């Protein structure tokens, strides 16, 4: 009964770092929905066969006994599809307020094309260090194929790549100079929303595995990340990670 999330784990079962799973965990917490998690590793594709694909996040939403007649178990994958499913099924406290779906999708595309690859260059070797031996082989070969160089070579270039990553955050930084959050359910933008969860997932990914300093303390993005770690009763801050 209830919602079960398949969440990527490393060698340590409680160290969770998938940026896409983090989007879903923040979204579920934002909506006040109770959920259980089951740790999942890259090589456990058999365990996801029921979902029709091989990647997390996947949620299984089983209707409670009190639910209306006709409700059935729903299986949803992909963090964007999960957010839309949650808003449609549990309308209270919206993630993507009415009229903001295209704007939020634009933001997701910007994050996925700018922030995510920028942080990947910083933390991909740190992810590998935190995986169990069976996952390390899969991860190294798939990522080295994608980047065209070894994980150690990517890591050696990380500090040189940091200024351009920080510079790429400029539109987000200018927004957070004027607003506390990027997209909340309220017009004053004084609460986080799914736009915040989308990009916070990237920073939570880094926090889970890497001791590298990605943001200067006087950066408005740093202050926003602190607010996100403290949001929802400090949900994200309480999870295993490196506080840098």
Residues in the site for its own copies, rule: CB under 8 A? Answer: 97-107, 109-110, 113-114, 170-172, 174-175, 178-179, 181-189, 195
**DSSP state for residue 3 in the 8-state scheme:** E
The residues, any chain, with a CB within 8 Å of residue 225's CB and separated by 6 or more, are 200, 203, 215
Q: How far is the CB of 118 from its own copies (least distance, A)?
A: 14
| Cβ closest to its own copies, residue 43 vs residue 175 | 175
| Cβ closest to its own copies, residue 2 vs residue 171 | 171
Q: How far is the CB of 164 from its own copies (least distance, A)?
A: 14
For residue 156, cis peptide bond before it (omega within 30 degrees of 0): no
Q: Which residue has the tokens 């299986």?
A: 75
Q: How far is the CB of 146 from its own copies (least distance, A)?
A: 18
The residues, any chain, with a CB within 8 Å of residue 41's CB and separated by 6 or more, are 8, 9, 131, 132, 134, 135
| Cβ closest to its own copies, residue 37 vs residue 101 | 101
Q: How far is the CB of 72 from its own copies (least distance, A)?
A: 26
Q: How far is the CB of 17 from its own copies (least distance, A)?
A: 24
| Cβ closest to its own copies, residue 125 vs residue 194 | 194
SS (H, E, C) 4-45: EEEEEECCCCCCECCHHHHHHHHHHHHCCCCEEEEEECCCCH
């Amino acid at each position: 009964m209830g919602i079960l999330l398949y969440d990527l784990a490393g060698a340590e079962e409680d160290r969770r770092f998938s940026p896409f799973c983090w989007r879903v965990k923040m979204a579920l917490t934002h909506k006040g929905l109770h959920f259980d998690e089951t740790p999942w590793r890259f090589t456990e594709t058999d365990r996801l066969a029921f979902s029709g694909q091989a990647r997390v996040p996947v949620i299984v939403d089983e209707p409670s006994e009190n639910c209306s007649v006709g409700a059935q178990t729903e299986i949803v994958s992909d963090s964007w599809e999960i957010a839309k499913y949650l808003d449609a099924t549990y309308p209270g406290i919206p993630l993507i307020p009415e009229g903001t779906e295209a704007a939020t999708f634009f933001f997701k595309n910007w994050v996925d094309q700018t922030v995510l690859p920028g942080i990947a260059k910083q933390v991909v070797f740190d992810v590998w260090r935190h995986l169990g031996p069976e996952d390390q082989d899969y991860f190294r070969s798939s990522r080295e194929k994608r980047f065209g160089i070894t994980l150690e070579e990517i890591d050696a270039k990380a500090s040189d790549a940091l200024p351009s990553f920080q510079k790429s955050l400029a539109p987000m930084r200018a927004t957070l100079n004027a607003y506390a959050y990027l997209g909340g359910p309220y017009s004053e933008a004084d609460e986080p929303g799914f736009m915040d969860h989308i990009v916070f997932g990237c920073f939570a990914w880094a926090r889970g595995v890497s001791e590298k300093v990605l943001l200067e303390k006087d950066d408005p993005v740093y202050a926003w990340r602190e607010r996100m770690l403290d949001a929802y009763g400090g949900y994200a801050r309480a999870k295993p990670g490196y506080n840098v």
